[in-house]
Amino acid sequence: MAVASPGQPALQEVQPTAIKRAWTGYRLTEGLTPYLLIAPLLILIAVFIYWPLIYSAYLSFYDWNFVRPDKTYVGWDNFTRLPDDPRFTRALRGTLIYTVTLVPLQVFLPLGLALLLWPIRKSRAQTRYRIMLFSPTIIAYSVAAVMWLWIFNPLQGILNKVLAEFGAERINWLSDRSTAIWAIIIVATWKTLGFHMLLYLAALESVPKDYIEAASLDGATHWQIMRSIRFPLITPTFFFVLVTTVISVNDDVFGAINVLTDGGPFDSTTNVIYYLYQQGFQFFQIGAASAVAVLMFAATSLLTWVQFRFVERHVHYG
Amino acid sequence: MAELTRRRFVGQATAVAGAVALSGSVAAKAAAAAGRSTRKAAAQEKTEISIYHIWGTPPGGTPAETPAPMTQVIDAFNAQSDTVTLTSSTPGTYYETLQKTQADIAAGNPPDLVSVPWAFLNYAVEGLGVKDLATVAGDQFADLQASMSDTAWPLVTKDDTVYGFPWGLSTPILYYNADLFEAAGVDPEEAFATWESFAAACPALQDALAGNPVLGLSYNKDWPAQTIIQSNGGRVLNDDGTFGFTSDEAKEAMQTIADLDKAGFYDRGTRDELRPSFVAGSTAVLQSSVASLNGLTNDVAFTLGTSTWPRFGDKPVIASTGGSFLGVFSDDAAKYPAVVEFLTFCASEEGYSLWNQTGYVNISNHELERLPGQEPAYAQFEAGLIRETNWPSARGVEAGSTWDVYCERIWANDISVEEGVNQALQEITAIIGA
């Protein structure tokens, strides 16, 4: 029976509406809160990643330098002139060489080192090796460059001095087109080796020990354990290293190019990223640089898709 | 203790985040307001202006105990000015300085003054909107003009408009290891007389260097190439804007260095290698800017000699300029009197004497003592310098860089002179015509 006071609605008339409102409010808060919490991050990503991406695509159709008040619409010119630009052709060649050589070096060499260090994981020596191999990752390129410039110096460099002991001729490491690109590859590998090695070591650490023990009890050899247990279980890390290396290898090498050779001699160490930098920040052709950026984005996306499409099927996620 | 439910956690987290954001915003506003009021008070006393330049360390040298000459100029100006405070920033090389300038202009916060290479005058005018100095200086423009040498003003003039204050005028000269020349029994004066006599002296110098190359040409190769070509009667870019680097005189001049390379006398090292090699005594001769005089003098452990360039037969040496002018980029006309006050100080005997320690050629009208070793630069200056090549069009910087690559290739015998200049012509025409 409904109890009502004068001027007050009956209790059973109030309750359903109030509960409904409270429930709706709760649902709304529950629904919105996560979005509110991630909103700052989403805004930052939108402002600093997606907007530049869109704006860069827009600028690729203009001739502009960021400063001139007049932006000239040039249609596809910034794209169509690229094949006729010998500098771009040389940059493409460099990009190809860096990708073909550095991807295996940065994916497999750290894996090999991690496998070598894994058996001595409980000794102090491994810590020393890890520090030794990882420290190049945290050294700034500008600092590392000074050291490498002295190592590669043709007249006083330690590398040529050592080679001379074996009767080798003087090599102009950074100023000879046949060696300069290899010097850059050496420095870039040295710089990234340690980080990838640490990722592999962490992955090896996470392989469940009981799998290994069971296999050992069944008489599996060291190589069989590696091939059939350890490697399949670290394939997610392997895949991650592969994908990120393919995406970033030409970006990573930029620092070495910039501080050691400036793309020379004769553009022999340049790549598409350095070409983009030159167009945008040395020649002040933002439209041309944006066109290259758009093409790089498309090419990288395609390569990443290919890897996910054809390589990921071999990855064991446990 | 209250139970921490998901809802409570989310609610509390949101409240805390909101409070932090709100307090941060309030604090930021308060700080900004406080900053504004402080700045406002300071601004009533002094106008703040900024300068971007490349002279953070002594030119061509390592940081010294005493501040770099440009720092001394700025410090002295700030100490004596009651109305202006000049803040300085050294973003790096000329390219990096212009990059920062470009970024700041794009962000609507241009620096007031920037050191701009002479070779970038066209780009500074057409691409970056450097201000007309006569407009900036107003009534004081005539005084500024009177303070600097007449020969300096055409270097900052384009289409009859003066776009900057001439400041650091350099020219490429040759530095040599005098001790090594003596040990090799080579008379420097005789060796540097002509390219022929230089080539003849190279074997003895190379023996003294235990087989190392003798000559290094530093910086961008298009810079020394300009002096070498001009000294043989050619031009990189003719006055009428046509390309001169394909002329017979230019090709002959380029061949001279290629021949030295073929004989093993030319050091192909990168620009970061050439200077250390010379300083360490591993090469005998280094071409560099006269502005490197102070730095090199401090760095070498041998007796440093300087020389003008060798001649081609009887032809005179016609060197190019180097260095930079001070361009005004400020959009705020209220700051112009402050900028002019600084430029006037630069032009004063006090300011220019401090600057003159660098090694740059004195282009002021003050009689200042010349530094030992500057003689070749003054000889070249007095014989008449030609402005560093200003490649035309908005893509002129790219054209210049392309020519630089071909100079490097030709001299290292990576390509023949004939092929090199023709390919360069083709590429540069495509760039500038694009």
Q: Give this complex's ipTM.
A: 0.78
Tens digits of residue pLDDT in B102-160: 889 988 899 999 999 988 898 899 888 999 999 999 999 999 999 999 888 988 999 99
**Chain B residues with CB inside 8 Å of A267's CB?**
405
| A163 and A22 part of one domain | no
Judge if A66 and A89 occupy the same domain: no
Per the CB < 8 Å rule, is A285 touching B412?
no
Task: Find the CB nearest A153 among B273, B405, B434.
Answer: B273
Judging contacts by C-beta atoms under 8 Å, the chain A residues touching residue B398 are: 278-279, 283, 285
Q: Do B99 and A155 touch (CB under 8 A)?
A: no
- Is B131 or A142 the better-scoring residue by pLDDT? B131
Contacts of A285 (CB under 8 A, 6+ apart): A63, A65, A279, B394, B395, B398
Q: What is the dihedral of CA A221, A225, A227, A233, to 10 degrees?
A: 180
Q: Chain B interface residues facing chain A, Cβ-Cβ under 8 Å? A: 7, 10-11, 13-14, 17, 95, 98-99, 102-103, 105-106, 123, 126-129, 212, 268-273, 276-277, 280, 282-283, 394-395, 397-398, 401-402, 405, 408-409, 412, 414, 427, 430, 434
Question: Quick check: is A179 in a domain?
Answer: yes
Same domain (yes/no): A90, A127 = yes
Two tokens at B159?
Answer: 């289409």
Residues in chain B closer than 8 A to A174 (CB atoms):
269-270, 273
pLDDT digits (tens, 9 = 90+) for B63-115: 556 788 899 999 999 999 999 999 999 998 888 899 899 889 988 899 999 99
Residue A122, domain member (yes or no): yes
pLDDT at residue B317 tops 90: yes
- Residue B397: list chain A partners with CB under 8 A: 282-284
Nearest-CA distance from A246 to chain B in Å?
29
Q: Which residue of chain A has the CA closest to B423?
A: A86
A281 touches B at CB < 8 Å = yes
Closest by Cβ to A175, choosing from B127, B268, B282: B268
Residue A256 covered by a domain: yes
A56 and A93 both lie in a single domain:
no
Residues B294 and B289: their CA atoms lie apart, in Å, by 11
| CATH code of the domain in which A180 resides | 1.10.3720.10
Decide if A50 touches B, using CB distance below 8 A: no
- Tell me the two tokens of residue A136: 């190049």
Statement: residue A3 has pLDDT above 50: no
Inter-chain touch B270–A262, beta carbons under 8 Å: yes
Strands B266-267 and A62-63: unpaired
Per-residue model confidence as pLDDT tens digits over B372-397: 999 999 999 989 899 899 888 878 88
- Helix H or strand E encompassing B51: strand B47-52
Q: Which residues of A touch B17 (CB under 8 A)?
A: 37
Chain A nearest CA to B67, separation (Å): 23
* Residue of chain B minimizing CA distance to A29: B11
Mean pLDDT of A238-248: 93
Confidence band (pLDDT; 50, 70, 90) for A8?
low
Q: Give yes or no for A264 touching B (CB within 8 A).
A: yes
Nearest to A266 among B13, B103, B405 (CB): B405
- Minimum CA–CA partner of A180 in chain B: B270
Of the pLDDT bands very low, low, confident and very high (cuts 50, 70, 90), residue B58 is: low
Tell whether A80 is covered by a domain: no
Assess whether A24 and A109 both reside in one domain. Answer: no
How does pLDDT run across B342-373, given as a tens digit for each residue? 999 999 999 999 998 888 999 999 999 898 99
Which residues in chain B are closer than 8 Å to A153, comparing Cβ atoms? 269, 273, 276-277
Domain count, chain A: 2
Calculate mean pLDDT across residues B271-285: 92
Which pLDDT tens digit goes with each residue over B232-276? 999 999 988 899 999 999 999 999 999 999 999 999 998 888 999
**Within this chain, do residues A22 and A139 fall inside the same structural domain, yes or no?**
no
* Residue A10 is assigned to a structural domain of this protein: no
Structural domain including A43 reads 18-73
Mind listing the domains of chain B with CATH numbers?
47-170+322-383 (3.40.190.10), 172-319+391-433 (3.40.190.10)
Residue numbers in A near B9 (CB within 8 A): none
Looking at residue A176, the DSSP 8-state letter turns out to be S
Kindly determine whether residue B414 and residue A265, on different chains, have CB atoms separated by under 8 Å.
Answer: yes
Residue B8's pLDDT is 47
Q: Which residue of B125, B220, B273, B422 is the best one to mutate when testing the A interface, meaning the one whose CB has the most A CBs within 10 A?
A: B273
- Using one digit for the tens of pLDDT, what is the confidence trace for B322-339? 989 999 999 999 999 999
pLDDT interval class at B9 (50, 70, 90): very low
Q: Does A283 touch chain B (CB under 8 A)?
A: yes
Q: Which among A68, A152, A172 is the nearest to B127, CB-wise?
A: A68
Cβ-contact B306, B109 below 8 angstroms: no
Residues 188-217 of A with CB under 8 A from B: none
Give chain B positions within 8 Å (CB) of A149.
272-273, 276
Look at B273 and A281 and tell me if their CB atoms are within 8 Å.
no
Virtual torsion, Cα A11, A17, A20, A26, nearest 10 deg: -90
Return the percent helix, strand and coil in chain A, to nearest 5: 75, 0, 20
Residues A307 and A246 sit within 8 Å (Cβ to Cβ): yes
Residues whose CB is less than 8 angstroms from the CB of residue A209 and which lie 6 or more positions away in sequence, other chains included: none
In a domain, A57, yes or no: yes
- Determine contact: A265 vs chain B, CB below 8 A: yes
**A97 shares its domain with A168:** yes
Which of B96, B220, B272, B329 should we substitute to test contact with A (largest number of A Cβ atoms within 10 Å)? B272
The CA distances from residue B353 to A54, A282, B170, B342, B362, in Å, are 52, 33, 16, 15, 9
Residues A69 and A89 in one domain: no
Interchain contact, A86 vs B129, CB within 8 Å: no
Share of chain B above pLDDT 70, in %: 88
Q: Which of A59, A67, A158, A292 to mutate to test the interface with B (most CBs of B within 10 A)?
A: A67
A-chain residues within 8 Å CB-CB of B414?
177, 265-266
Average pLDDT, chain A: 89
Beta-carbon contacts below 8 Å between A and B = 111
Residues A112 and A212 in one domain: yes
Q: pLDDT per residue over A70-100, tens digit each?
A: 889 999 999 999 999 999 999 999 999 999 9
Helical packing angle, B69-80 and B336-347, nearest 10°: 120
Contacts of B269 in chain A (CB under 8 A): 153-155, 172, 174-175
Inter-residue contact B329 to B111 (CB < 8 Å): yes
Would the CB atoms of B269 and A66 count as touching at under 8 Å? no
Distance CA B56, CA B54 (A): 6
Q: How far apart are CA B285 and CA B174, in angstroms?
A: 7
Distance from CA of B375 to the nearest CA of A (A): 30
Q: How far is Cα A152 from Cα A149, in angstroms, rounded to an integer?
A: 5
Residues A189 and A66 in one domain: no
| Residue in B14, B102, B272 closest to A65 by CB | B102
Whether residue A11 lies inside any domain: the answer is no
Over residues B303-312, mean pLDDT: 97
Q: Are residues A64 and A106 in the same domain?
A: no
CA gap B46, A157 in Å, rounded: 52
- Could you tell me if residue A112 is inside a domain? yes
Label residue B315 exposed, middle or buried (CB < 10 Å: 0-12, 13-18, 19+): middle
φ/ψ of residue B430, rounded to 5: -65, -40
Alpha-carbon distance A110 to A192, whole Å?
A: 9
Q: In what order do the strands lie in the sheet with B113-117?
A: B84-89, B47-52, B113-117, B322-328, B165-170
Do A113 and A243 lie in a common domain?
yes
Confidence class for position B47, pLDDT limits 50, 70, 90: very high
Query: Whole-number mean pLDDT of chain B?
Result: 87
